[in-house]
Homo-oligomer: A and B are copies of this chain.
Amino acid sequence: MVSRLAIVGTGLIGASVALAARRAGVASVRGFDPDPDALAEAAQGGAVEPAGSLSEAVANAELAVVAAPVAQLSSSVAEVLAASSGTVTDVGSTKGAVARAVRDDARFIGGHPVCGSEARGAANARAELFEGATWFLTPGAATEPARYRELHAFVSSLGAVPVAVDPEAHDRLVALTSHLPHALANLLVNQAGAARIEGHEPLAAAGGSLRDLTRVAGANPRIWVDIFLDNASALRETLREHRRRIEQLEAALEAGDAGFLARWIAEASGNRRRMLAEAFEDPGALQRLRVHVPDRPGVLAGITQALGAERINIEDFELQHFSPERGGVLNVLVTGEEPARRAAELLEAQGYGVVVSAVVE
């Protein structure tokens, strides 16, 4: 159990690690940030005791967490390893470059909490940030098992779910699960934004699918330029493969190959079901209730209250906002046809029109 923790880099993630660690019972949390304002903000919020220098922060720490931007990660980690004698980890979004830079130091284990927050600064830090989140750990060949076990326990104590993976495999994994989706979102919204079709602006005619696919478009360039460049090689690999798959689809469309399209959609349906299986116990039983709602306060409360009172668990919940005048569509996911039917009846009794369908065909 860690009792003396150091945080190097006291922005949103660093300060949230500090708060979560305090909540988990870590006695001493010292912090340092090259930016005095960032350090003061974290100290004021009660996340860390501020140290006068990096050395002072890490000298006696059993564990030092480096929460520096991706571009400064390797040099910061090297500096902390030199100034400390305990275990060192980081929270960067890519893991290959820093692993190569420290060349299998026995005290370093890379880390990457997948918490997807877009906020910044210690003022937004929260102890709850990592609850339920996957936290990748990338032990190397030289990593001492005791240090890995200690870090694993520490990450778990913050509420996260540690997952061990090789650093280079980590980068290929996130290239596919995060960097490619972000890149495609940017590509798609820019393609739609650049087009004018006989006076119609595609962005103005965007339906739910274009909105879904571009939700992460335009994410913070201060973070994402570095992530894309740092993981350029793995990302390029996934982009090449994506182009190959597009060409295959184009050929099927040109040939009018209905069989290919049917198999391709069925494969997508199966893959989506597998993905949902991670989040839901029985994705095949999921039912979607599609409810048209006006745009005014209290409407969502009325709906969630009615379902909660009947002990109908809302598995997922999404409001597709049309406009202040036109209202929106609420998609409510519940498990099982019988609860879905009861939920629809309840909402219809409140005057809403409800359409029920299975989530996975």
Comparing A29-37, A48-56, A100-108, A169-177, the segment that makes contact with chain B is: A169-177
Nearest Cβ in chain B — how far from A336, in angstroms? Answer: 13
A241 touches which one: B189, B191, B281 (CB < 8 A)? B191
Residue of B nearest to A348 (CB): B126
A124 interface neighbour in B118, B166, B172, B356, Cβ under 8 Å: B356
Interface status of A239 (Cβ within 8 A of chain B): yes
Residue A224 at the chain B interface, CB threshold 8 Å: yes
Specify which chain B residues have a CB less than 8 angstroms from the CB of A246 in the assembled complex: 187, 239, 242-243, 246
Q: Which of A72-80, A81-89, A306-314 contacts B (4 or more CB under 8 A)?
A: A306-314
Judged by a CB distance under 8 angstroms, whether A119 is at the interface is: yes
CA–CA, A295 and B19, complex, Å: 23
Quick one: closest B residue to A171, CB to CB?
Answer: B197
CB under 8 Å from chain B, chain A span 174-207: 176-178, 180-193, 195, 197-198, 200-207
Q: Is the CB of B292 within 8 A of A132?
A: yes
**Interface contact A288-B118, CB-CB below 8 Å:** yes
**In contact, A275 and B243 (Cβ under 8 angstroms):** no
Q: How does the 8 Å CB contact mask read for A53-76 relative to B, with 1 for contact and 0 for none?
A: 000000000000000000000000
Beta-carbon contact of A268 and B217 below 8 Å: yes
A313 CB contacts on chain B under 8 angstroms: 295-297
Within 8 A of B (CB), among A193-234: 193, 195, 197-198, 200-221, 224-225, 228-229, 232
| Interface band, chain A | 35 or more
Check if B210 sits within 8 Å of A197, measured CB to CB.
no
B218 and A265 form a contact (CB under 8 A): yes
Q: A205 touching B253 by the CB < 8 A rule?
A: no
Name the B residues within 8 Å of A249 (CB-CB).
183, 187, 239
Interface of A is mostly: helix
Q: CB-nearest residue of chain B relative to A281? A: B324
**10 closest cross-chain pairs (CB), A and B:** A218-B269, A128-B353, A132-B326, A193-B271, A119-B357, A298-B308, A301-B308, A301-B304, A181-B209, A186-B268
Give me the interface of A with B, judged by CB distance under 8 Å.
12, 114, 116-120, 124, 126-129, 131-134, 161, 163, 165-166, 169, 172-173, 176-178, 180-193, 195, 197-198, 200-221, 224-225, 228-229, 232, 235-236, 238-243, 245-247, 249-250, 253-254, 256, 258, 261-262, 264-275, 278-281, 288, 290, 292, 295-305, 307-309, 311-319, 321-324, 326-330, 352-357, 360-361
